């Protein structure tokens, strides 16, 4: 079966996934029996295009690079908004990658509900809906017999959700701690080398690490969203974003960084959550001055790291990219391949 894909939102992550899909098309077909056709794209800035036979994605990538609107694509239907694209196209899978709002979950939440109502699968890197109502969404997906994949919402393509769900199955995970935001880790790394905060932030934006509004990164909201997601999805405990104490990196000065250096320490923005003996959750996001002997102190650039505390193995740590165009695009491929395995299992 060929999975027909539609992109809702088409920023760097969507373009990263497209590049990977085009480059690995043959390998994906041969090794995993994964065949795809991209039939629609709807983006609030770039416009929309739909061709039920499939779009020429090399042409689309060139157009987007040249700053052209999708309406300039030579064929296909134009002018469909996101909800029309979800409901009225022949796509089987909706790739939801619009901007993230962890407080409301919108507009992604509406898109995902519409897709489930239309009997369509969803893969998404959007943290908002997962923070807002992951349990309700997973229940609804099950009822509608569709798949909801969101590997990339924490640590991009570094497979944290799959690690907890499949590889660590059978262990009890009682907590986690880690560096979960690439932008702030990149900024702290550059500041330690002497770069000014504003310049480092600008660089992080150019490299595609930061959110559309980077306030969410530097104030710790992005990491907070990930703490909420992992608490609900991995620890299986209910937690809302308003339950987490959150401090970002905006108050860390050059002087703080130099002082830490002299003390043999390094600032990191750490997100964590642990189940306390009484069953309540201790969750927070805050900058911590770590001794260089701490493994997390050696994780620099936009790299992230996460340590799960488990009953059978003690601490288990995964280190890898937590942001970036292809690194996040790849997480959607992980979700698509999982969906493909499910669909193949049903055939």
Shortest CB 74 distance to ligand HSE, Å:
34
Closest residue by Cα to residue 4 from 130, 151, 115, 153: 115
Q: Which stretch binds ligand HSE (CB under 6 A): 116-124, 130-138, 175-183, 335-343?
A: 175-183
Nearer to ligand HSE by Cβ, of 256 and 301: the residue is 301
Give the x-and-dash track for 128-167 against ligand HSE (CB under 6 A): ----------------------------x-----------
69 is catalytic: no
Shortest CB 34 distance to ligand HSE, Å:
25
Q: Find the catalytic residue in 132, 226, 268, 284.
A: 226
Cα gap 188→191, rounded to integer Å: 5
Q: Which residues have C-beta within 8 Å of that of residue 261, sequence separation ≥ 6?
A: 192
CB-count exposure of residue 332 (10 Å: 0-12, 13-18, 19+): buried
SS3 317: strand
Q: Within 286-345, which residues bind ligand HSE (CB under 6 A)? A: 322-323
CB-count exposure of residue 50 (10 Å: 0-12, 13-18, 19+): buried
Phi/psi of residue 214, nearest 5 degrees: -70, -5
Give the x-and-dash track for 176-215 against ligand HSE (CB under 6 A): -----xxx-------------------------xxx----
Q: What is the DSSP letter of 102?
A: T
User: Binding ligand HSE by CB under 6 A: which of 96, 101, 217, 335?
Assistant: 217
Shortest CB 346 distance to ligand HSE, Å:
31
The answer to whether residues 323 and 208 touch, using CB atoms and an 8 Å cutoff, is: yes
Shortest CB 83 distance to ligand HSE, Å:
25
Binding residues (CB under 6 A) for ligand HSE: these are 156, 181-183, 209-211, 217, 222, 322-323
List residues with catalytic annotation.
Answer: 226
């Amino acid at each position: 079966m060929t999975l027909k894909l539609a992109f809702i939102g088409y920023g760097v992550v969507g373009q990263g996934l497209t590049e990977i899909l085009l480059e690995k098309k043959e390998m994906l077909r041969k090794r995993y029996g994964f065949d795809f056709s991209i039939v629609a794209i709807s983006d609030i800035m770039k416009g929309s295009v739909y061709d039920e036979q499939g779009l020429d994605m090399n042409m689309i990538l060139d157009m987007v690079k040249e700053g052209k609107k999708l309406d300039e694509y030579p064929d296909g239907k134009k002018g469909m908004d996101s909800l029309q694209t979800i409901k009225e196209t022949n796509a089987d899978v909706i790739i939801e990658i619009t901007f993230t709002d962890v407080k409301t979950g919108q507009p992604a939440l509406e898109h995902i509900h519409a897709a489930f109502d239309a009997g369509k699968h969803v893969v998404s890197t959007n943290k908002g809906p997962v923070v807002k109502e992951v349990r309700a969404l997973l229940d609804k997906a099950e009822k509608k017999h569709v798949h909801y994949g969101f590997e990339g919402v924490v640590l991009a393509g570094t497979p944290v959700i799959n690690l907890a769900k499949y590889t660590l199955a059978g262990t009890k995970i009682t907590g986690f701690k880690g560096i979960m935001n690439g932008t702030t880790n990149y900024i702290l790394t550059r500041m330690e080398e002497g770069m000014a905060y504003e310049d480092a932030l600008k660089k992080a934006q150019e490299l595609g690490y930061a959110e559309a509004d980077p306030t969410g990164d530097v104030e710790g909201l992005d990491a907070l969203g990930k703490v909420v997601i992992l608490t609900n999805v991995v620890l299986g405990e209910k937690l809302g974003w308003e339950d987490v104490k959150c401090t970002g990196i905006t108050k860390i000065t050059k002087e703080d960084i130099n002082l830490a250096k002299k003390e043999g320490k390094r600032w990191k923005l750490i997100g964590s959550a642990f189940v306390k003996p009484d069953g309540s959750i201790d969750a927070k996001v805050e900058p911590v001055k770590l001794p260089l002997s701490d493994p997390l102190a050696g994780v620099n650039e936009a790299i992230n790291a996460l340590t799960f505390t488990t009953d059978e193995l003690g601490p288990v740590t995964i280190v890898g990219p937590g942001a970036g165009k292809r690194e996040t695009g790849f997480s959607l491929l992980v979700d698509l391949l999982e969906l493909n395995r499910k669909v193949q299992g049903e055939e």
